[in-house]
Amino acid sequence: MHDALRINRQRLINRLERLGEIGALPGGGCCRLALTEEDRQGRELVIGWMHELGLQVSSDAMGNVFGLRPGTEDGPPVMTGSHIDTVRTGGIYDGNLGVLGGLEVIETLNEAGIVTRRPLCVAFFTNEEGARFAPDMMGSLVYVGGMSLEDARATQGIDDQSVGDCLDAIGAGGEAPVGKPDVHAFVEVHIEQGPVLEESGITIGAVEKVQGISWQEFSFTGISNHAGTTPMRLRHDAGHAAMATGAFVRDLVNRIGGDQVGTVGAFDIKPNLVNVVANHARFTVDLRNTDNSRLKQAEQELQAFVERLAEREGIEVEHRTLARFDPVPFDPGMVDRVEAAAQALGHSVMRMPSGAGHDAQMLARVCPTSMIFVPSVDGVSHNINEFTAPEDLEAGTNVLLRVLLDLAE
């Protein structure tokens, strides 16, 4: 093993900052929603870096991109990577660290003249965030065979454009067969996006599992009427019903307790005027729990509440499930490897679940998988103030280097 080998912190940060300039927002952070012009520019930049590092670059019809570094033997590569799309109000680390950390490992190996036994592969997957097109982790889900390419392409986004049209418009789809290459093992470095590591004073999270995710969308249709003249008993108020459901979500989550979380993140009301009873409301509910039975309970109670409310208020309800993923346990041997690598490098380490969704949870369907978390300052993410200290970025990427060498030798 190459125990003394270390990544170059400044080179990693330079790439993170350079990629963060694409879609940069006033005040910091960035907006690179999946399959937009900004995403295209981000892809071009990262693919250019892959070529500079000597990787064999390919992309599949879903726009997933793979940079392969041959080993001394053929066979399935050890893969790392993540995503470069962001939410509309994102930071420069979420996902990007996993891709650029992978490239930094490759450059470190190139400099040291090390060729591993197994091939290595740095990948980035299309539309991990799901903020524009649901579900999240769409590219990696298609890659592992959990969604057909046709269904993915047909998905309509928040702006009523389809994944297929947007893939074609930015030229992101390539010739590589979907679901190739086969993968020996997958490990992803990512910022924690929550407060646990920072509050515990610990540098590295060895991620044992990802919590279950349920995204529901409701559309309520009532009747618009005059806000001053319509007696309360005659109202069919879609706005009231939507807001009552939002309040119910918070009560429900508090009552279930434990790891249960719930969010009404998107909300649209019509006609959105001060003196008109709303005839239409559309909103999303994001429910998550590490315990699938409690997550199911939350989903059922939400449905029952909406049905009772619709009856009482006299409104029509349309409902769609935008995403539904069970909790995902990672491979215990892979978690051990992450923990051992962190310890060998002298970093404090704890085992923990992931609150966010990740491409790794899809790769776990096809190969041994785990993740490496590094602290997020104040636990802030999906926010332009997202920040991880340079020494923590460096620590996580050195753990990645060590785990990849361990797996590839």
Contact residues for ligand GLV, defined by CB under 6 A: 128-130, 136, 356-357
- Minimum distance from residue 129 beta carbon to Mn ion (Å): 5
Q: Report angle CA 281, 285, 289 to the nearest 5 degrees.
A: 170
Contact 379, 198 (CB under 8 A): yes
Query: By CB under 5 A, is residue 94 in contact with Mn ion?
Result: yes
- Minimum distance from residue 382 beta carbon to Mn ion (Å): 6
- Minimum distance from residue 96 beta carbon to Mn ion (Å): 9
- Contacts with 6 (C-beta within 8 Å, 6 or more apart), sequence order: 108, 398, 401
Query: By CB under 5 A, is residue 95 in contact with Mn ion?
Result: yes
- Minimum distance from residue 80 beta carbon to ligand GLV (Å): 17
Nearer to ligand GLV, 19 or 55 (CB): 19
Write phi, then psi, for 311 (nearest 5 degrees): -60, -50
Report the amino acid identity of residue 202. I
Helix (H, G, I), strand (E, B) or coil at 113: coil
Structure tokens that stand for 244 in this block: 């009552």
Query: By CB under 5 A, is residue 101 in contact with Mn ion?
Result: no
Report the amino acid identity of residue 299. E
Binding span for Mn ion by CB under 5 A among 14-22, 88-96, 197-205, 226-234: 88-96
**How many residues are recorded in the chain?**
409
For residue 271, say if its preceding peptide bond is cis, omega within 30 degrees of 0. Answer: yes
Q: Considering CB distances under 5 to 8 angstroms, the limit depending on partner class, which of Mn ion, ligand GLV, none binds residue 386?
A: none
Nearer to Mn ion, 35 or 408 (CB): 35
Number of residues that bind Mn ion (CB under 5 A): 2
Q: Considering CB distances under 5 to 8 angstroms, the limit depending on partner class, which of Mn ion, ligand GLV, none binds residue 98?
A: none
Tokens 């208020």 identify what position? 313
Nearer to Mn ion, 194 or 239 (CB): 194
Tokens 């057909």 identify what position? 148
Contact 353, 131 (CB under 8 A): no
How remote is the C-alpha of 64 from its chain's centroid? 14
Binding span for Mn ion by CB under 5 A among 86-94, 169-177, 239-247, 340-348: 86-94
- Minimum distance from residue 369 beta carbon to ligand GLV (Å): 16
- Minimum distance from residue 33 beta carbon to Mn ion (Å): 11
Helix (H, G, I), strand (E, B) or coil at 284: strand
**Whole-number Å distance between alpha carbons of 107 and 294:** 45
Q: Considering CB distances under 5 to 8 angstroms, the limit depending on partner class, which of ligand GLV, Mn ion, none binds residue 262?
A: none
- Minimum distance from residue 401 beta carbon to ligand GLV (Å): 24
Nearer to ligand GLV, 107 or 188 (CB): 188
Nearer to ligand GLV, 116 or 354 (CB): 354
Q: Considering CB distances under 5 to 8 angstroms, the limit depending on partner class, which of Mn ion, ligand GLV, none binds residue 104?
A: none
Nearer to ligand GLV, 108 or 361 (CB): 361
Nearer to Mn ion, 215 or 218 (CB): 215
Helix (H) and strand (E) counts in the chain: 12, 14
Give the x/- contact pattern for Mn ion in 134-173, rule: CB under 5 A: ----------------------------------------
- Contacts with 363 (C-beta within 8 Å, 6 or more apart), sequence order: 79, 140, 143, 144, 183, 186, 188, 369
Closest CA relative to residue 30, chosen from 90, 99, 115: 90
Nearer to Mn ion, 245 or 354 (CB): 354
- Minimum distance from residue 269 beta carbon to Mn ion (Å): 26
Nearer to Mn ion, 82 or 155 (CB): 82
Structure tokens that stand for 66 in this block: 């793979």
Binding span for Mn ion by CB under 5 A among 89-97, 292-300, 324-332, 362-370: 89-97
Q: Considering CB distances under 5 to 8 angstroms, the limit depending on partner class, which of Mn ion, ligand GLV, none binds residue 136?
A: ligand GLV
**Whole-number Å distance between alpha carbons of 97 and 397:** 9
DSSP characters for 197-244?
HHHHT-SEEEEEEE-EEEEEEEEEE----BTTTS-GGG---HHHHHHH
User: Would you tell me which residues interact with Mn ion (CB under 5 A)?
Assistant: 94-95
